[in-house]
Amino acid sequence: MNGMTVRKIAISLPEALLARATAQAKRQRASSLSAYIGGALEQQVMRDDVDAFLHELLEESGGPLTKAEIARADALLDSASTKRRSPARAKHRKAS
């Protein structure tokens, strides 16, 4: 956020949340509570952007995976994982 034009706004927060944010800002040595809250807001906006992008991809691809597609992907990943671990496990057993 450095070098950006900033605008002062007023927000309302529950007191407990404000206390936790203030403590975290001090612990993390943020330049100010505003900087800490701005950083948290920036992270949330990025997560929201990723969620929107993923939703768009799902819409373009025909929606979420079916249970059968998930099971097939899990089986392929399990198979690949087992193949990768097998030589290491065999070597470990010989050393024991």
Cβ-in-10-Å burial (0-12, 13-18, 19+) of 79 comes to exposed
Residues 34-45: pLDDT tens digits? Answer: 999 999 999 999
Closest CA relative to residue 36, chosen from 58, 21, 50, 48: 21
Q: Are 76 and 90 members of one domain?
A: yes
The answer, as to whether pTM is greater than 0.75, is no
Q: Are 15 and 55 members of one domain?
A: yes
Any idea how long the chain is? 96
Run means of pLDDT, 10 residues per run, the chain, 96 residues: 83 97 92 94 96 91 89 90 63 55
Residue 94 lies in domain: 65-96
